[in-house]
Amino acid sequence: MSAPGMNFAELHRLHLALHEVQEQLTRGPRQVKAREQLVATAEAEVAARREQLKTQRMSSDRKSLDLKTNEAKIADLRGKLNAASSNREFDIIKGQIEADTVANSVLQDEILELFDAIDGTQTEIKDAEQKVVKAKDELKRFADQFAADSAGLTTRVAEVSEQIKQRESGLTGDLLERYRRLVDAHGAEAMAPCEAGICGNCRVQVTPQNKVRLNSGLVIVCSACGRMLYKPPE
C-alpha cells in the first residue's frame, strides 16, 4: 500500500490531538455529574444525621417523661408508706419504692448517655454541613471553569477537524477506503508508528519486505492488528 509516510504521521498526530480535545469536552460533563453526586451524598448525610438527632431527642424526651412519672410515683408511694396499716403492706410499698428508685437511676444514666449522643450528633451535623458547602463550592468552581473552557475546546475541535480534512484530501481509492474504515472503527488508534520494524500498536515485528517499504516512506498495514503503519519522521 503506497502513500507518503510523513502524511500519515501528521494525520496520526492530528487524530490524537482531536481525540484529546473531544475527551476533554466529554469528560467535563461527566466530572460535573460526579461532583453533583458528591453534593447529593453530602446532603443525604446531613439529612441522615438530622433524622438521627430527631430520634435521639424523642428518646431523651420520652425517658425524661418516664423519669418524672416514676418520681411522682415514688413520692406517692412514700405517702402511702407512712400510712401503711401493717408490716406486710409497709414491706410491699417499700419494695416498690426501691424498685422504682433503681429504675430511675437507670433512666438517669440513659438520659445522660443520650445527652452525650445528641452533642456528638450535633457536631457531626455541623461537619456534614461544611462538607455540603465545600462540595457545592467545588461543583460551581469546576462547572464555571468548564463552561469557560468549552467554547475554546469546541473551536479547537473544528480547527483540528479541518486540518485533518485537508490532510485526508491526498488519500484516494482503496487507501482512502481502508483509512476511513479503520478510523471509524478505532479513531486515533487507526494508525501507529513503526520503529525498528515493530508495530507501535501491537508490538509485532513486521516482515523484512514491509520494513523496506516503510524505510522508503510508504505506509503498510500491520498483518497482526490491521493498523496503518508509518515510519516516524526523523
Residue 129 near residue 103 (C-beta atoms within 8 A): no
Beta-carbon count within 10 A of 12 CB: 22
d(CA 85, CA 107): 32
Q: Given a cut of 70, is residue 80 above it in pLDDT?
A: yes
Angle 159-163-169 from CA coordinates, rounded to 5°: 145
Residue 2: its pLDDT value, please? 46
Residue 6 near residue 233 (C-beta atoms within 8 A): yes
Q: For 44-62, what is each residue's pLDDT tens digit?
A: 999 999 999 999 999 999 9
**DSSP summary character for residue 197:** T
Q: Given a cut of 70, is residue 171 above it in pLDDT?
A: yes
Residue 39: its pLDDT value, please? 97
Residue 5: its pLDDT value, please? 53
Mean pLDDT across 188-196: 92
Q: Which three cell numbers stand for residue 92?
A: 410491699
Domains, the chain, with CATH or none: 14-169 (1.10.287), 171-234 (no CATH)
Mean pLDDT across 86-94: 85
Residue 97 near residue 84 (C-beta atoms within 8 A): no
Mean pLDDT across 198-223: 90
Q: What is the pTM of this model?
A: 0.68
